[in-house]
Amino acid sequence: MMGAIDVWAQLPTETMARQPWMETLLRWIGRDADAILPTPETAIETMDAAGVDIALLSAWHGPGGPLISNADVAGAVDAAPERFRGLASVDLARPMEAVRELRDIVDGTRFVGVRAVPWLWGLPPNDRRYYPVYAACVDLGVPFCTQIGHTGPLKSSETGRLIPYLEDVLLDFPELVVVGGHVGFPWIDELTTLTVKFPNFHVDTSAYALKRLPPDFVAWMKGPGRSRVMFGTNYPMLDPGQCLAGLPGLGLDAEQEAAFLSGNARRVFGL
């Protein structure tokens, strides 16, 4: 049986790990900055222990510059191309430079999507500065990955509200495939509404141990969400084994479990 696919992971740099806004997140997970600086080798060891075949490693770019560069991610992917794929990130404030960079590196094989984190920018996803990136994703045939729901770091959660911000994007770009990370709590009703309304909208469970998923989210996973939800961790903030420990408690049947752990991700990201 094929192993799981982790659709939200990263290999933080020193620059990212020591950002002031990381302090709250580190307090939540009970770790210090040095504990979230894995190497590709230690990440693979952790994946092997949990039965994860592939992890999508995210670059991070914010208003102050790259926190994890696309080159950093490319190096990790090149070191273990069977285990890692990349999600690119670009400077929203430099739209044409961003589009050219995406055209250059996002090939659907090594880099299989694009990620932007709205709370990092302080910009909701319907801000005009995202729109060239959305158009590039459609042209390149890859998903746009983002964060939905409340924000763990000391930043506003408003940018993670699905309606109206993400709904505007889904209306304006009906061809765009969107993957919303981090479950979407506390706006689960908005989440379920949008997944029924928009066939290209998907969700991942990153930043949650499965035993902590909201009951309404689990109910959605078994119904309309069975072809829309993917496994994610937010590694190294959470380890895949820690996240997957609660899998039996979800009560998924074999088909639902296979789609959640890998099938939906393989289809959406073309793996």
Neighbours of 45 (CB within 10 A): 12
CA atoms of 163 and 165, how far apart (whole Å): 5
Report the pLDDT value the prediction gives residue 1, as an integer from 0 to 100: 47
CA atoms of 196 and 233, how far apart (whole Å): 24
Report the pLDDT value the prediction gives residue 69, as an integer from 0 to 100: 97
Q: Which domains does the chain have, with CATH numbers?
A: 4-269 (3.20.20.140)
User: Which is nearest to 152 in space by CA: 221, 215, 191, 208?
Assistant: 208
CA atoms of 28 and 10, how far apart (whole Å): 18
Q: What confidence tens digit (pLDDT) does each residue in 165-214 have? A: 999 999 999 999 999 999 999 999 999 999 999 999 999 999 999 999 99
Structure tokens at 95: 């739209």
Report the pLDDT value the prediction gives residue 57, as an integer from 0 to 100: 98
pTM of the model: 0.95
Q: What confidence tens digit (pLDDT) does each residue in 17-41 have? A: 888 877 877 777 777 777 778 899 9
Distances (CA, A) of 155 to 40, 50, 54, 236: 29, 31, 30, 20
Neighbours of 69 (CB within 10 A): 17
Paired residues of 248 in beta bridges: none
Q: How far is CA 212 from the centre of its chain?
A: 18
Could you say which residues of the chain have pLDDT below 70?
1
